[in-house]
A and B are shown apart, each in its own frame.
Chain A
C-alpha cells in the first residue's frame, strides 16, 4: 500500500506541478509536499473516525485513550514535516524573485480575503493542534483529539484551496483579465455532497466489514504479560519459540 500511496499522491501533485503557466504551481517540491500533506490530513481523519466510532457504537473497550495518544505522537512528527514542506514551497516560489510569483504570494498572504484564509490555514493546520498535542492530558482526551483533528482537516482543505484558486485567479499576465473568485451555490453543494458521500461509504464499509478485528484484540490480551528485568516489572508480549 505504501508504494501505491506515495506514487499516487506524487502523480496527483504533478497535475499541478507540470503546469508552467500557473504561478505557484510549477514547483519541484509538490510531490513530497502532497504526500506528507495527505499523511497529515489522513491520519487526522483516522482520529476523527475513531472518536466517532467509539461514540456511535460504544467501543470504549476497543478504542482506548492510549490509541489516541500514539496517533497524536505520530501526528506531531508528520505535522512538523508538513510545516517544513510548506515553508519550502513558499521559499522555492519566491527565491527566484520573479514578479508574477511574488505578486501571487503577496496576494495569498496580504490581500483580503486570502490573508484571512492563510492565517486560518496556518492556525488550524499547525499552530493550534500541534502545541496542544505536546500535552499528555490533551492526547488522552478523546474530545480534544476529535476537535483538533477536525481543525487539521479544515486547515488541509484550506491549503489546497489556497493552492488552486489564487494561482488560477492570477494565471494570465494581463491584469484586465483578473477577477476574484466567489463560490457558487452549486460548488458549495458539491463540497457538502462530497463530505456526505465519504460518510456514506464509510458507514457502508462499517456495515459489511469488521472494523475492529476481535481476534487480534483477544490475541494481544492473551499474550500480554509482565516480565521481571532486574527489580522492574516490564509489560511485554509473550511469544513461544520452538
Chain B
C-alpha cells in the first residue's frame, strides 16, 4: 500500500488544534500526523505528541569520543617518538591536557550540531504534502496514512474546517 500524505490548511492555530484533536479521536496513530507552521509555536500548542528530547546524549557522546581520540593521539605520538627533554616524562598529562580539551570541545560541538539536525528530522528526503501559504502564517495539519484510510483522513480534515485539502 502506498503511503499517502494528506495536508489540511487552516487559518488559525485554534482550528489547527481542533483538527489535531479530531484526528486523534479518529484513531490515527500518534506518530502519523503532525502540524506544519511557518513560525515556532510553544510545545503542545496543537496537542501534538511531544517526545522526550534526547539532545543531551549527543554532546555527551561527542565529548567522550573526542577525549578518547585526543588521549590516544597524544599518547601515541609521544610514545612513537620518545624524545627525552630535560629528564621530563615521555607521557606528560599536563602537556596533553590542551589537545585533549580542544578535541573534547570540538567533538562535543560537532556532535551537538549533528544532533540538532537529527532531532529536527532532517534531511527530509520524503517531503510530503506542503503549501506555501504555511510559510505566510497558515497552519498545516498533515496525515501520513495508507491509501485505504485516505478518504477517512480527508473527511476528518474537511469536517474540522480545512480551507483546502491536498494529497501528495
Contact = CB atoms under 8 A, between A and B. Distances in A.
Q: Determine if chain A interacts with chain B.
A: yes
A215 B98 contact: no
Contacts of B98: 11, 14-15, 18
Question: Interface SS of chain B: helix, strand, loop or mixed?
Answer: helix
A215 B102 contact: no
B110 to A, nearest CB: 12
Given A215-B38, A215-B39, A215-B40, A12 B102 contact: yes
Contacts of A14: 98
A121 B28 CA distance: 66
Contacts of A12: 102
B109 interface: yes
A7 B105 contact: yes
Q: How large is the interface on B (under 10, 10 to 19, 20 to 34, 35 or more residues)?
A: under 10
A4 B109 contact: yes
Q: How large is the interface on A (under 10, 10 to 19, 20 to 34, 35 or more residues)?
A: 10 to 19
Contacts of B105: 4, 7-8
Interface string B101-143: 1100100010000000000000000000000000000000000
A11 B109 contact: no
A8 B102 contact: yes
Contact of A11 (B40, B95, B101): B101
Interface in A1-53: 4, 7-8, 11-12, 14-15, 18
A109 to B, nearest CB: 29
Contacts of B102: 8, 11-12
B120 to A, nearest CB: 10
Interface string B59-98: 0000000000000000000000000000000000001001
Nearest to B95: A18
Interface string A149-178: 000000000000000000000000000000
A191 B102 CA distance: 22
Contacts of B40: 215
Nearest to A14: B98
Which of A4, A11, A12, A219 neighbours the largest number of chain B CB atoms within 10 Å of its CB? Answer: A11
A7 B108 CA distance: 14
A172 to B, nearest CB: 14
Contacts of B95: 18
Nearest to A8: B105
A4 B40 CA distance: 27
Interface string B31-58: 0000000111000000000000000000
User: Across chains A and B, which 3 residue pairs bring their CB atoms closest together, nearest first?
Assistant: A215-B39, A11-B101, A11-B98
Interface of A: 4, 7-8, 11-12, 14-15, 18, 215, 218-219
19 contacts: A4-B105, A4-B109, A7-B101, A7-B105, A8-B102, A8-B105, A11-B98, A11-B101, A11-B102, A12-B102, A14-B98, A15-B98, A18-B95, A18-B98, A215-B38, A215-B39, A215-B40, A218-B39, A219-B39
